[in-house]
Amino acid sequence: MSPTGTSHQAIRGIGVSPGRAVGTVLRMPPPVPEPSGTRRGPGLSDDDAAAQIAAAAERVREGLERSAQGAVGTSREVLETTAMMAADPTLVSTAQDLVRSGDLTPARAVWEAAGQVIDQLAALGGYMAERTRDVADVRDRVVAALTGRPAPGVPDPGHPFVLVARDLAPADTATLDPDRVLAIVTSEGGPTSHTAILARALGIPAVVGAAGAVDLHDDAPVLVDGGKGEVVPDPSEEQVARAQELAAQVRTFDGHGRTRDGHPVPLLANVGNPDGAQPAADAGAEGVGLFRTEFCFLDRKQAPTVEEQVAAYRRVLAAFAGKKVVVRTLDAGADKPLPFLTATDEPNPALGVRGLRTATRDAQVLEDQLTAIAQAAAAEHAETWVMAPMVATVEETEDFVARCTAHGLPTAGVMVEVPSAALLAGPILARAAFASIGTNDLTQYAMASDRLLGSLAGLSTSWQPAVLQLIAATCRGGAQQGRPVGVCGEAAADPALAVVLVGLGVATLSMSPRALPDVAAVLASVTRDECRRLAERALVAETADAARAEIRAALPVLEELGL
Ligand code: PEP
Ligand code: MG
């Protein structure tokens, strides 16, 4: 910690998960490379090489079990599964055979043995094929142990730390423990990447696209401000004290989103894993505005059965009896490939057969899902709405609504994520019961900027005036048809932008439950007319920075609340 006034220049990035944390840096180890040298020198006998492999696998198993004991939830499950794979003798014995028959180095033998095990599992299909990623994980850990590299994945130093990485893979984010990881800083990664969404869901302050973070070294003290998108190396005592004061403020949400003059703006939750539904309800969410059903089935090689879908969906509906739950049909593709539904050979997956478009290739998956949603809805007491992702045309809307009607699902809507849908909101909403704007993809497609790329983060913000105009067009279409328009992209969780969205005519805002108290507090500080006036000002801004700066300056409550 520096004495007052001597802190270093802040590293700028994009704040994707609000909150402040002070701690020391730990960098994510680089991925384990394929061992290049294959032949063993004469100095190491077959037996010694074989013994090294067994010992390394054992060390890996022990380490994973230790980590699992200190972990909870998904993180614990992932670690336990990987420890079990490390204990499986097949990989070790196959590698030991290879050192004996082929003079391979222990690391090379483990690499090749894992390749054989992966091929065998993949050929078996189904559940076994889903384990190939675990084998690759164990392989990397054993090779790291053999070659003296740090173990791959999120490090576990036994104390809390600020995780600094280039970007995080989905499997790494699954093992993030909010009690250990004080904050996340990535030098790449876009603001609406799923890593960012997960960090927000876990309540871990996060800054992405902070190119300067590559210069941070292990154990360096830093202050991370996930709201402002700033990383302050060697912060001053004053900065630390202010951050701690703000971090100690606990806001809650009373379950009624409204403006200062009492105009209701229902604040809903985005839910992925059904485990998140009850905590979302406990956080006061007035319903679910986006249930990302594909998150239940990522990594599946085969389509889930109707029965298992019913079981998963019922858990979410049960947590919201008497309230609205908007179930989105599988949004497979791009950064969320579902092996049973998406092609792997498309040159541009974000522009490919994804979302609702997959039904043109395999309508049965959609039909089964609608069957499952209808059964779950009939068995529970939530108000079940259904919507399709990635709708671009009136014909797609008609087709989807007709399918829902045939399944007895009367409230069928569309997501507005493609600019064409925003521009056609009138005719689309003449057919659909509601629209929900997915600002993450709407921004990606309006700005032609990959939402996963940190280097394009300046483009990938929903403050872009062009994006705001598309949102305004969607709201006009909704008003013409008397249909509600909500927002369920990350824009809804930005308290300043939420004010603008309400002013543009958005009826409901759906977000990660952690964002509910902040959005509610800021909305409660403005009247509906003020929202409208601010929306007009944002709409005529010429740049994203100007729009954001102007609205933030008009909302002093943000500074008071430390947002
Ligand atoms: C969006 O695109 O804004 C959205 C909510 O969907 P997802 O983030 O799951 O693509
Ligand atoms: Mg989307």
User: Which residue puts its alpha carbon closest to atom 8 of ligand 1?
Assistant: 440
User: Which residue puts its alpha carbon closest to atom 3 of ligand 1?
Assistant: 438
Q: Which atom of ligand 1 is nearest to the CA of 490?
A: 3
Paired strand residues for 14: 208
Please tell me the distance between residue 334's alpha carbon and the centre of ligand 2 in angstroms. 10
CA pair distance 314, 234, nearest whole angstrom: 49
User: Which residue puts its alpha carbon closest to atom 9 of ligand 1?
Assistant: 292
What residue segments make up the domains of the chain, in order of their start?
11-29+153-247, 46-147, 267-553
Please tell me the distance between residue 156's alpha carbon and the centre of ligand 2 in angstroms. 33
Largest distance between two CA atoms of the chain: 82
Q: Which one of 296, 404, 475, 488 is the catalytic residue?
A: 488
Q: Dihedral of CA 499/196/251/235: which sign?
A: negative
> Of 267, 212, 59, 266, which Cα lies nearest the Cα of 147?
59
User: Is residue 294 within 6 Å of ligand 1 at its C-beta?
Assistant: no
DSSP H stretches of helix in 249-389: 277-282, 306-319, 358-361, 363-379
User: Which residue puts its alpha carbon closest to atom 1 of ligand 1?
Assistant: 438
Question: Among the CATH numbers 3.40.50.10190, 3.40.50.720, 3.20.20.60, 3.40.50.300, which is that of 267-553?
Answer: 3.20.20.60
**CA count, 13 A, side-chain hemisphere, 542:** 0
Please tell me the distance between residue 352's alpha carbon and the centre of ligand 2 in angstroms. 13
CB atoms within 5 A of ion ligand 2 belong to: 417, 438, 441
127, 71 Cβ separation under 8 angstroms: no
Residues 424-480: tens digit of each pLDDT: 999 999 999 999 999 999 999 999 998 877 778 788 899 999 999 999 999 999 999
Active site residue 488: yes
> Of 523, 433, 514, which Cα lies nearest the Cα of 227?
514
Active site residue 194: yes
> Of 450, 413, 210, which Cα lies nearest the Cα of 327?
413
Please tell me the distance between residue 89's alpha carbon and the centre of ligand 2 in angstroms. 42
C-alpha 377 chain-centroid distance: 26
User: Is residue 331 within 6 Å of ligand 1 at its C-beta?
Assistant: yes
Residue 321 structure tokens: 């009896």
- Residues in the chain, pLDDT under 70: 1-8, 71-75, 125-127, 129-130, 169-171, 174, 191-195
CA pair distance 233, 162, nearest whole angstrom: 12
Instruction: Give the pLDDT score at 5.
Output: 43
**Starting at the edge strand that comes first in sequence, how are the strands of the sheet with 11-12 ordered?**
11-12, 230-233, 221-225, 20-27, 161-165, 181-186, 206-208, 14-17
Ligand (nearest to CA of 471): 1
Instruction: Give the pLDDT score at 74.
Output: 63
Q: pTM for this one?
A: 0.75
Query: Number of H helices and number of E strands within the chain?
Result: 23, 16
Give the mutation target among 354, 436, 440, 506 for probing the ligand 1 site: most ligand atoms within 8 A of CB: 440
Q: With 0-12 CB in 10 A as exposed, 13-18 as middle and 19+ as buried, what is 450?
A: middle
CA pair distance 391, 438, nearest whole angstrom: 11
Please tell me the distance between residue 440's alpha carbon and the centre of ligand 2 in angstroms. 6
The domain made up of 46-147 has a fold known as Enzyme I; Chain A, domain 2 (1.10.274)
Check whether domain 11-29+153-247 has CATH 3.50.30.10, yes or no: yes
Please tell me the distance between residue 119's alpha carbon and the centre of ligand 2 in angstroms. 33
User: Is residue 417 within 6 Å of ligand 1 at its C-beta?
Assistant: yes
Instruction: Give the pLDDT score at 550.
Output: 95
C-alpha 27 chain-centroid distance: 21
Instruction: Give the pLDDT score at 358.
Output: 93
Please tell me the distance between residue 321's alpha carbon and the centre of ligand 2 in angstroms. 26
Ligand (nearest to CA of 292): 1
User: Is residue 441 within 6 Å of ligand 1 at its C-beta?
Assistant: yes
CA pair distance 392, 399, nearest whole angstrom: 12
Ligand (nearest to CA of 442): 1
Give the mutation target among 16, 192, 326, 336 for probing the ligand 1 site: most ligand atoms within 8 A of CB: 192
User: Is residue 438 within 6 Å of ligand 1 at its C-beta?
Assistant: yes
